Every structure is written in C-alpha cells, then in structure tokens.
C-alpha cells in the first residue's frame, strides 16, 4: 500500500512538473496555448487572462471574467482597455442622490469599491455635478484621507465645458489608493433648483473624457451609466532592484518600478514593440516600413535590430544634420583608398609572417608533446622485438581535429571522470571513438605507454579494441573502435533506449562481462585490473553483445605481485569497500564491482538510489537484505522473473551476493564466477529444450555439451549451434 502511495505521489509530482515547465519558456512564465485573447472588442494580453494557466499565476488579481454578453469584467467592474505600461481602464458608475419637489429623497446610489493589488491613477478627476451640491471621495491605501468639492448655483450656468464650481466642481486624485467611496450631498435637498436639477452626482472619471454640459448634465447627467476610470497595476510587491534577474520581463525588455509605489512593470527596449511580459513578446520595429525614421529619402532607410540607419549609395555620404546624402570629395576618396590598400598589403605580409611563425611554433609544440607523452618510447617499443599481433597506429593532431570536426560539441559521445569521448570519422569513412586520456605527470609516461601496448594486444570479442593513439597534443588521445548502441546503463536506466532486455539477454551480458574480466585477470600477457567496472563502462553493439570499455583507471599487475598499493579510484556504488579502506588493489576489487553490475541486471535499479530507505541506499545492502529476508522477488525487475526462471535468477542473485562480500578473501575469483554463470545458462538452455523435445538426454549426448562448474578445469571451449551462442573461452580470450 505504501509503495502504491509513493508511486501515486511520484506520478503527481511528474504531472505537476510537466505542467509547470510547459508554462516556462527561457525561465519566464508563459500563458497556455489556446488562451482567450479577446472579449467583445477588448484585447486580453498576459499577464491578464480569463482562465487558469492564462494569467500570471502568482497573483489571482490578474484573472478577468468574460461573461455571456461578451463583456470583460475585473471582479464586477467592466474593463475596457489594458495597457502594458501598468494601466487598466474600467467603467465605474456615478453615485447620485435625487429629490422630489418637496425635498424628499426619491432615490440614491452610493459606491464603495475595493481594488485588489490595483490602485487609483492620478490620471483621474473627482467630479461633482449639481447646484447647491457638495461631495466627498474617501480613499484608503498609501494615502488615507477624504476630500471633495462644492458647487453652488440658483440657475443653470450659461457656459458649457467648464467645471469651475458653478453647477460642476472637480478635484485631483492622489496616487496609490486601492479602496475608495464616492458620496454626493445637497444643501437643501435640491428644492430650490428641482425644476432643472433634481439630482446631485459624484463620480471618478479619466482626465479629458468628461465635458460639462450645463443643460443636459444638471437634468439627468445625459443618462450616462458609467465613466472611464484609470487604475494602476504592477507585478508583485518588490522593486526591480529587489527582484533582480527573477522578474518576469522577457527578452528585449527592461524592468521599471511601478508608479503606484508598489511592485514593478516591464517595457520593451527602444526600437522594439509587443508584450514585454512574454519571453519573446518584444520584437523589432521595422522603422523603414512603419515611417518611424527620419531619413530624407525613404529609399535610403535600412532597418536594424532595435533601430535603423540611412545608407547612401556609393560616392555619397550622409549629412547627419539634414539626413541627406551628399556627394563625396573624389580627391579625399583616392587618398583614403590608397591608404587602405597600402595598409592591407602591410597587414597581409605581417599576417603571412605570423602564420609561418605560428606553424613553426605549432610544429615544435607538437614535437614537444609527442616526446613528453612518450612518443619516442612507443616507437622504440613498436620497432623492437615483441608480440607479432601488436598493431598500434599513431595518429596526428591534424588528423584528430579533422576526424572530430575541430572537437565540435556535437561530436561528444560522453564525459566522465576519465575524460571526454568524441565521435570521429577517419578519411576512409570508418567511425571511431576518440578519448582524451588522463595523464597525471611525466613519471606515468612509461606506464601509460605500457598500457597502450598491452591493451592493443587484447584481442577479445568483448573488449573494445584500442586502434591507436595521438601523442602530439598536451593531453594524449586514444582511438577505439566505435560501438553503436550505447551503454548498459542507458539500456537499464536511461531514456534513450527501451528497457526491454530479457532474462536471456541479461544473463548472456553478465557471462560476457565475467568472461572478459576473467581473461584480463588470468589469461592476458600481463594481468590487468580494470578498477572501474560499472554499467556505464559496458557498451552494447547492435546485437546487444557486451563490450568492456574505459581502461583509463586500469592497472597492470606485475607477475611477482598479487596486489598494488594505489591511490583509491573508482565510482561510488561500485567501489570495493576493502580497497577503499586499505588502498590495496587486487583482482577481487573487480569481482566486487561485477557483483554490483550483476545486481543491476537482476533488479533494474541503480547502484546508488537516495530514494530508498537509509539503510538500503546502496544496492548491495538493499539486495543482501532482500536475499536474507527471502523477499528477493520484490526487487527483481518485473520484465525478468517468470515462473520458469525463478530458480536460475535465485542462483544468479546468490553469485552476486558472494561477489560483494566485504572481505576480498571470501569472494570468488572471476574465473569461478564466469564458470558458474555459464553453467547456469546451459541449465536454462537445457530446461527450455526439455519443454520442446522430450528426448533431452539423447540430444544432449549428440551435442556433447560440456557444463562448466567451479570444480576442475574451466577452460573448455565449444559452440552451441542450437542457440547460436559461443561457449565461454576464458583462456583464449576470443
């Protein structure tokens, strides 16, 4: 049950992460595709929106509503225009108080409006209309106070358009108020002026949008139901300096502090236009087609990013005072042209000399690196007496640059603790893997050359073949055969390949790797300890054949020694704990690492996983506890275990646990591990045949199958023609 809850939680987190990243482009919040962009005749632009994922999610006040009549509403206030510079225009009805001829109230309406994360702009006027009228505007926010105006008259004013106190008065509005109330009053309940002015009115209105008409407005305010009012809006509550690079301003835009005193707004750079709140909202203005240039001749206008320039034809120059093209002085042109030609000739000669000097210097540097990296020693060893099958090619630096297209980033196959690997294409169109080897100091040169020679002699079908090296660079380059289908880690845990390895595939891969390590430990001309066995260093070709790679951390073991004292090197999760604690390296360190790889093949889980319980973060302890508590089935990969192969999987798991014992003396040798796994495969094959053919014993005798065991000689060779797989050949290394 807890496992199912954990899985549901992980699925929820993944869905949330995908939804969140879809709203982010270049680090900026973005509206969801398909958002409503118009409501009636009003354009809706981000950060405002009408539905989730369409407006700025961190501030719900940016959510608008488009009702059934195609009217855009901010709360219950109609919106009529949204400006990128931080202004929102809405329509607000007037407040009024009306009386009959006897002075009794015949109707009234007062407005109190609270704004969420918005405030009144100074572009509004508080206005009162009526004779013998006074009105108040109470504001709360940055400035908390009340103010008003008074209008007196006994007859309709003769002048229209002036709101100067006779029939109409007005007052400026302070900045920053986000809660306000409007209320009109009458001195004598309009009894003396009821015939032409039965009501007193008070309202907010945008500057320049209301012109007082004495006859109409005193009568019934021209039946106007609402007035345009400007509100200021901004993003958040921090200034541009406080938000720094985390503002939502997109490309080609800049941040500026809001005029309302809280938060910030965005605007496009000069020469750009669009929505600055989108990652790619601001685009270049073509001044030449939009007539925003000052070139006297439009044909000379040339657009550039963020501006324009006036280009004159050959023989003319631009007069910046009049922006006209004027003919150049020919005499000065000839002098200037001659000077330029002379300068170019001198520059060409100097460049040629510098190029020759650089070439000579590079040649000397390549020769220096060649000697420094042991090139002379390698040539001497190759020309002397030695094994006939040594075939090491020495590549040039120029050839390596051409093969990797100048070490282009797109050619990188992988990067790790042992260096960077590039995909190279040689002149004969053969594909190779080129790796920058690590070389600590000059004292390691002889050992490096020995390793190159020894690795070049390894002719094992499950070892990546070393083709040659390049010593003309500061860091030596090693050239290997190219393996096409990625690493075992990619197939088990990565996203590049489907994790569809069957039990037969995994067992065969384990046998091939075990046989390879056994060959390196026991049958190579000089024993080799790999020292970094892990799934990331096991490559798979197109037939899923294992290829052990990355011998950058390997060490050669002299014949007279069983172990070496070295600086601890390896990968966490695969590193032998005994080697880690003592610094003593022997072949049992590879056995431990192989045991971890075998556990990965069986479980499909990584060597280290911090999502597992504290005592089971390391796969070895997780696997061992599962074996001990008889719950191995819980950690085996679901694609692997079936009713038919449970016994074989338990046997393989036992081998993995034996390989990862804490003390090296308690671990088996790789030769024994390879033999046990090969015997396990023969048993599996025999079991499958017995299902298909009842006369298994007779067939077995005809084939002459030799099952390898840990007792006796383990060097038997052969070929299983039924299953088209080679029987293990540890001694020959083939």
532 an active-site residue?
A: yes
Q: How many CB atoms lie within 10 A of CB 346?
A: 10
Alpha-carbon torsion (677, 682, 687, 691), positive or negative = positive
Q: Where are the beta strands (DSSP E) in 38-176?
A: 38-39, 42-43, 65-66, 72-74, 77-83, 87-92, 95-99, 105-109, 111-114, 118-120, 124-129, 133-141, 145-151, 168-172
Structure tokens at 59: 């501030």
Q: Cα(579)–Cα(571) distance, rounded to whole angstroms?
A: 12
Q: Cα(418)–Cα(415) distance, rounded to whole angstroms?
A: 8
Burial status of residue 675 (CB atoms within 10 A of its CB: 0-12, 13-18, 19 or more): buried
Q: Are 714 and 672 in contact (CB under 8 A)?
A: yes
Q: What are the b/e assignments for 203-226, b being 16+ CB within 10 Å?
A: bbbbeeebebbbeebbbebeeeee
Nearest in space to 187 (alpha carbons), one of 143, 239, 228, 131: 131
Nearest in space to 455 (alpha carbons), one of 473, 433, 478, 476: 478
- Residues 6 or more apart from 697 whose CB is under 8 A from it? none
Q: Cα(619)–Cα(466) distance, rounded to whole angstroms?
A: 32
Structure tokens at 46: 């981000």
Nearest in space to 292 (alpha carbons), one of 311, 274, 271: 271
Q: Which of 217, 232, 490, 532 is catalytic?
A: 532
SS (H, E, C) 651-688: HHHHHHHHHCCCCHHHCCCHHHHHHHHHHHHHHHHHHH
Residue 372 phi/psi, 5° resolution?
A: -65, -35
Q: Which DSSP symbol is given to 541?
A: -
Alpha-carbon torsion (651, 652, 657, 658), positive or negative = positive
Q: Are 258 and 117 in contact (CB under 8 A)?
A: no
Burial status of residue 523 (CB atoms within 10 A of its CB: 0-12, 13-18, 19 or more): middle
Give the chain's largest Cα–Cα span.
130
Half-sphere exposure of 377 (CA within 13 A, CB side): 17
Burial status of residue 262 (CB atoms within 10 A of its CB: 0-12, 13-18, 19 or more): buried
Contacts of range 687-692, beta carbons closer than 8 Å, 24 or more positions apart: 687/644, 689/722
Please list the active-site residues. 532
């Amino acid at each position: 049950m807890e496992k199912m809850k954990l899985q549901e939680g992980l699925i929820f987190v993944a869905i949330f992460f995908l939804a969140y990243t879809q709203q982010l482009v270049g680090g900026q919040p973005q509206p969801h595709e398909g958002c409503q962009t118009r409501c009636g005749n009003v354009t809706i632009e981000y950060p405002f929106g009408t539905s989730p994922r369409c407006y700025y999610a961190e501030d719900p006040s940016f959510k608008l509503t488009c009702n059934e009549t195609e009217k855009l509403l901010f709360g219950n206030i109609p919106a009529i225009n949204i400006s990128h510079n931080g202004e929102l225009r809405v329509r607000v009805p007037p407040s009024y108080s009306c009386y009959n001829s006897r002075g009794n109230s015949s109707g009234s309406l007062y407005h109190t409006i609270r704004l969420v994360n918005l405030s009144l702009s100074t572009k509004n006027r508080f206005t009162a209309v009526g004779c013998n009228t006074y009105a108040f505007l109470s504001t709360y926010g940055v400035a908390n106070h009340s103010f008003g105006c008074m209008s007196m008259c006994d007859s309709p004013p003769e002048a229209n358009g002036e709101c100067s106190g006779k029939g109409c008065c007005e007052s400026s509005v302070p900045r920053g108020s986000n809660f306000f109330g409007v209320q009109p009053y009458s001195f004598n309940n309009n009894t003396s002026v009821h015939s032409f002015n039965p009501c007193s009115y008070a309202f907010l209105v945008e500057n320049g949008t209301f012109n007082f008409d004495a006859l109409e407005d005193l009568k019934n305010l021209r039946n106007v139901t609402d007035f345009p009012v400007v509100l200021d809006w901004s993003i958040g509550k921090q200034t541009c300096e406080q938000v720094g690079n985390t503002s939502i301003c997109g490309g080609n835009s800049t941040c500026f502090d809001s005029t309302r005193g809280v938060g910030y707004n965005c605007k496009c750079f000069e020469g750009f236009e669009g929505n600055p709140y989108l990652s790619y909202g601001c685009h270049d203005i073509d001044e030449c087609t939009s007539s925003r240039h000052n070139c006297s001749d439009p044909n000379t206008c040339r657009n550039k990013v963020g501006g324009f320039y006036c280009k004159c034809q050959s023989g003319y120059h631009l007069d910046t005072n009049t922006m006209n093209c004027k003919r150049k002085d020919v005499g000065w042109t000839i002098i200037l042209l001659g000077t330029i030609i002379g300068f170019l000739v001198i520059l060409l000669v100097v460049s040629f000399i510098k190029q020759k000097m650089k070439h000579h210097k590079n040649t000397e540097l390549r020769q220096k690196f060649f000697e420094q990296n042991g090139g002379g020693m390698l040539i001497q060893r190759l020309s002397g007496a030695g094994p006939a099958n040594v075939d090491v090619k020495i590549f040039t630096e120029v050839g390596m640059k051409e093969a990797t297209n100048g070490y282009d980033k797109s050619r990188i196959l992988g990067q790790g603790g042992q260096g960077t690997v590039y995909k190279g294409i040689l002149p004969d169109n053969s594909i190779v893997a080129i790796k920058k080897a690590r070389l600590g100091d000059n004292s390691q040169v002889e050992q490096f050359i020995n390793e190159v020679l020894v690795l070049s002699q390894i002719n094992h079908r499950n070892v990546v073949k070393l083709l040659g090296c390049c010593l003309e660079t500061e860091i030596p380059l090693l050239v290997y055969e190219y393996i096409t289908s990625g690493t075992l880690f990619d197939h088990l845990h990565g996203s590049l390949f489907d994790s569809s390895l069957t039990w037969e595939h995994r067992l065969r891969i384990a046998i091939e790797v075990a046989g390879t390590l056994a060959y390196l430990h026991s049958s190579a001309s000089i024993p080799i300890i790999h020292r970094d066995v892990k799934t990331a260093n096991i490559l798979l070709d197109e037939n899923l054949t294992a290829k052990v790679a990355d011998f950058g951390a390997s060490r050669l073991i002299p014949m007279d020694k069983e172990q070496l004292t070295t600086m601890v090197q390896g990968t966490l999760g695969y590193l032998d704990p005994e080697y880690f604690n003592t610094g003593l390296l022997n072949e049992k360190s590879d056995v431990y690492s192989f045991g971890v790889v075998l556990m990965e093949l069986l479980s499909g889980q990584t060597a280290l996983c911090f999502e597992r319980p504290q005592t089971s973060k390391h796969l070895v302890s997780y696997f061992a506890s599962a074996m001990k508590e008889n719950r191995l089935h819980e950690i085996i990969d679901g694609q692997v275990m079936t009713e038919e192969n449970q016994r074989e999987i338990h046997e393989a798991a036992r081998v993995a646990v034996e390989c990862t014992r804490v003390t090296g003396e308690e671990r088996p040798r790789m030769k024994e591990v390879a033999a046990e796994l090969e015997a396990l495969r023969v048993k599996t094959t025999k079991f499958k045949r017995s299902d298909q053919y009842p006369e298994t014993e007779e067939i077995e005798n005809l084939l002459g199958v030799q099952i390898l065991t840990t007792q006796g000689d383990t060097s038997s060779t052969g070929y299983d023609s039924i299953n088209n797989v080679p029987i293990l050949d540890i001694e020959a290394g083939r």
